Chain A
Amino acid sequence: MKFSRRLRGLLIVLFWLIVWQAAAVLINQRLLLVSPLDTAKALARLVPTRAFWHRIGFSSGRILTGFSLALVVGCLFAVLAHTSRLLRELLAPVMQLVKATPVASFIILALLWVRSKNLSILISFLMVLPVVYSSILEGLSNLDWQLGEMARVFRIPWGRRVRCIWLPQIWPYLIQSCRVGLGICWKSGVAAEVIGLPSGSLGDALYQAKIYLQTDDLFAWTFVIVCASALFERCFLWLLRRIGAKLMERDGLC
């Protein structure tokens, strides 16, 4: 069953690679569209270099720092907004503004405030913050109040209430917001680097490939960014599920 699903996935990837190769052959202009083979060759050239790994480390470190900050601040703000109507109303237009403003506007504006080196931290933070905030706030407002009353009547200890009643209800919202946020932070973080051009970043590599018309490098770097984003998403969600399982341990309950 699992094998056939994997095989199916592989066949789908193979199908699109063939379509890509066919399109590249048809267009026959390497400047416009390189083939998967050329992209693989460019990748094989880049991977063994030190600069390649340095760029990945530079960008992922900053983008994930922005994501982590947004996760902590978003959760904190959501909990506070859930308890205070005033704060919720104060934060609502700010979050709406951050959601609606084009990322490019923020990047250009933020370039005036921070060094280009740290731009991706601020941008990924700003883009992920409303996602985490809205999702956790929604989760909190959907908490089952009847279970809250039950816990109050039975005087269930606070630790047990959090572990067995509240966290299991909130955790799916947290996972969902992280899933969406991890995709957004990579997209916005790299976009910030393409505009801010901090040397040694993935965005800088993309820009260089574009100005020197190295379409194969452009495709290779894009492929690397997609893979890094997917890898971090998988690892982070796996970690989050492990933490959730540990936090919501129910061994003590019979």
Chain B
Amino acid sequence: MLRFENICKRYGTRQVLKNVSGCADSFLRIDGPSGSGKTTLIRILLGLECPDSGTVHREGAMSAVFQEDRLCGYLTAAQNIGLVLPGKQSAEQVRSAMEKVGLTEEIWNTPAELLSGGQRRRVALLRALLAPAQNILLDEPFTGLDDAALEQAMHFTKQQVQNRTLILATHNPVTAEFFGGPVLHLSGT
């Protein structure tokens, strides 16, 4: 569960977030145009940035898909996922998840630096979904995916979240329609 109240954030003279509040028990979609503060809010919720004012209540561990993929280029796709899993996770479980989002066996042992943009994005998504976290925060997680891959990735995300909390920041209408609401709209200030 994630709850945030009256979050304000300013960079220099630019007010990015002003009195933003919300609560995510199971799902919250953050909507808004580019530059409206979606990524800033996600970073604040993840504890990577401090708000100028306001409070954030977090319960449970976090996982995320960041605006960038943030994969270790020298680790393989599977190792990047294994990095966030506790102990020796079943390789079979990771492999089966990879297949569900259209990542073939060939990609399994490929270093992340050699993967395409869409493949990297899916590895980052799997890392966030397979991590043992109660709160999953996804910042434009489906960027760079073609229609078929997008469809697979969205279904897999919905199926994998189960009874955890999902916060999804997106301004993609297809993704927005698929996941629905509740919605927190950021208009920028």
Contact = CB atoms under 8 A, between A and B. Distances in A.
A61 interface: no
A168 B83 contact: no
Contacts of B48: 149, 152-153
B78 A168 contact: no
Contacts of B133: 154
Interface stretch (B4-12, B62-70, B145-153, B172-180): B62-70
Contacts of A48: none
B94 interface: yes
Interface in A135-163: 146-147, 149-150, 152-156, 160
B70 A254 contact: no
B130 to A, nearest CB: 10
Interface residues of B, number: 28
A149 B84 contact: no
B68 A146 contact: yes
Contacts of A154: 62-64, 83-84, 127, 131, 133
A156 B84 contact: yes
Q: Is the interface of A mostly helix, strand, loop or mixed?
A: helix
Nearest to B80: A253
Contacts of A150: 64, 66, 70
Contacts of A95: none
Contacts of B79: 164, 250, 253-254
Interface residues of A, number: 17
A155 B79 CA distance: 16
Q: Point out which of A152, A160, A250 has the most chain B C-beta atoms below 10 A from its C-beta.
A: A250
Given A153-B46, A154-B62, A254-B82, 14 more contacts: A147-B70, A150-B66, A152-B47, A152-B48, A153-B47, A154-B83, A155-B61, A156-B84, A164-B75, A165-B83, A168-B74, A250-B79, A253-B78, A254-B79
Interface of B: 46-48, 61-64, 66, 68, 70, 72, 74-75, 78-79, 81-85, 87-89, 91, 94, 127, 131, 133
